[in-house]
Amino acid sequence: MAKILSLLILIGCTFLNAQQDNLLSLKKSNLGVYINNDSDGLFLDGYAHYSFSSGFFSEISFDQYRLNENKNTFYNSTLGLLKNVSTKRSFGLGYSNYFNNLRSIEHELFFGSNFTFISSILYYDLTNNLFTYQGILDLDSFFKITPIEINISFIHDNSSTDLICRLSKSINNNILIGYILSRENSEYLKEMTYIKNDKTGIYSKEMQEMSFFHEIFMGFNF
């Protein structure tokens, strides 16, 4: 299941976007475009969000758009409901789908809650019948000793647990700059050699391993 971990934890799920606006507290409408750079080069993220007075919200977004190669770009649309039950506690639920350039679409339900500096989100992938859990710690709101926003997140499914640390600084409430350090499960193709009937050949095998990733970004919110 493709999660948008650049997260920003920005794209892929409205709760992640909401978390940038003080954990599940959304403006009525906003747009955002992010310029990111990782080991594979530059790419873009973007989203458009609108919330209704009834508590419902909608959002569309794209992730990892690269000018030289767009096959890994993911597109997302979300519809959900968000309710603040107190000044420190919020609950939300909704439906989301996302697909890539190959038109492979996945459908997902999610339920989330937030209490002070802790957020938790449970996803259910309807396509693959898979549960995924995400926890987010908003450390800067807890310690309140630094102008830099510090968020630590983990995402756990049946196969692995990804860890993400995100540092960011808001400038004039419209520009966001930051750095992301993550430890994620990555997939790659490894060439293997075989010998059959005294003949040697090479084939590719899909491998998985946990790796560290670095990313810097600059975002513009409207």
pLDDT at 174 over 80: yes
pTM: 0.77
Contact 80, 62 (CB under 8 A): no
The mean predicted confidence, pLDDT, of the chain is 79
**Count of other CB atoms within 10 angstroms of residue 144:** 8
Q: Which domains does the chain have, with CATH numbers?
A: 14-221 (2.40.160.40)
pLDDT at 21 over 50: no
DSSP string over 80-108: EEEEESSSSEEEEEEEEEEEETT--EEEE
Report how far residue 106's alpha carbon sits from residue 111's, in angstroms, rounded to the nearest whole number: 17
Q: How far is CA 182 from CA 6, 17, 64, 69, 84, in A?
A: 9, 18, 16, 23, 30
Contact 87, 109 (CB under 8 A): no
Query: For residue 29, what pLDDT is reported?
Result: 60
N-terminal to C-terminal alpha carbon distance within the chain? 30
* Predicted confidence band of residue 139 (pLDDT cuts 50, 70, 90): confident
Report how far residue 27's alpha carbon sits from residue 23's, in angstroms, rounded to the nearest whole number: 12
pLDDT at 193 over 90: no
Query: For residue 103, what pLDDT is reported?
Result: 66
Q: Encoding tokens for residue 86?
A: 């107190």
* Predicted confidence band of residue 70 (pLDDT cuts 50, 70, 90): low
Contact 32, 219 (CB under 8 A): yes
